Amino acid sequence: MAMVRPLQLAAGVTLWREYFARPVQQEIVETVMRLAQSAPFYRPLMPKTANPFSVEETNFGPLGWLAEPGGYRYAPQHPVTGEPWPAIPDMLIEPWRSVAPFPQPPECCLVNLYRAGAKMGAHQDRDEDELGAPVVSVSLGDDAVFRFGGVTRKGPTQTVKLSSGDVLTFGGPSRLMFHGIARVIAASSDLVHGGGRINLTLRRVTKA
């Protein structure tokens, strides 16, 4: 993989621009879409309000992250098919090994599909027992405006544009930072068939 020099955006927040070259991005998108035939994208519901997310989601790996009216949780099976999630493809374990780096492998690869108009409100990734491992996030397709702040909702935020092939990690003092996608810039990439953006978020869930 491209050994580009990473950008330090904040303590514990690192961005590798174009970590994946275009042909590899294409291969990842094809793999994701093929796996999504057996683990289809679905629209999660917000806890309490049961409002649907604007993004569609699926997961790979032994544990998938679910949002349901009852709350957030990790589960070994797809909520619609009842089948175990597909394994995390090797090409996505590779960035975890080289940029995380955390001794245990990721257990969850959350797949977010942003079609026209989809975005994601500010939130923390805090449903994992293992907070010593960073979150590793891969962007594919349209550019996105990623906004992040500190570990409380208040305080200053930064925005950074995430483009296709970029890999972002947040860990250490920023593992519980608030973050979200303010908007996706439609048609800024032609990578994803049908348009939009795919985000792949790798996480360690259980303590080793």
**C-beta of 155 vs 194, nearer to Mn ion:** 155
Residue 175 binds: one of ligand SIN, Mn ion, none (C-beta under 5 to 8 A by kind): none
Q: Which of 58, 164, 169, 199 binds ligand SIN (CB under 6 A)?
A: 199
Amino acid letter, residue 185: I
Query: Binders of Mn ion: how many residues, by CB under 5 A?
Result: 1
Token pair for residue 182? 């303010």
167 belongs to the binding site for ligand SIN (CB under 6 A): no
Q: Which of 19, 201, 204, 205 binds ligand SIN (CB under 6 A)?
A: 201
* Rg of the Cα atoms in the chain: 16
Residue 137 binds: one of ligand SIN, Mn ion, none (C-beta under 5 to 8 A by kind): ligand SIN
128 belongs to the binding site for Mn ion (CB under 5 A): no
Instruction: Specify the stretch interacting with ligand SIN by CB under 6 A; choose among 90-98, 101-109, 139-147, 186-194.
Output: 139-147
- The dihedral built from the CA positions of residue 9, 14, 17 and 22, taken in this order, carries a sign that is negative
Please state, in angstroms and rounded to a whole number, the distance separating the CA atoms of residues 108 and 32.
Answer: 14
Residue 112 binds: one of ligand SIN, Mn ion, none (C-beta under 5 to 8 A by kind): ligand SIN
Instruction: Specify the stretch interacting with ligand SIN by CB under 6 A; choose among 16-24, 36-44, 86-94, 137-145.
Output: 137-145
Minimum distance of ligand SIN from residue 168's CB (angstroms): 7
Token pair for residue 88? 């995390």
Query: Which residues 6+ apart lie within 8 Å of 185 measured at CB?
Result: 142, 143, 144, 145
Query: Binders of ligand SIN: how many residues, by CB under 6 A?
Result: 11
Amino acid letter, residue 202: L
Token pair for residue 14? 């690192």
Token pair for residue 206? 């259980």
For tokens 């995430």, name the residue: 162
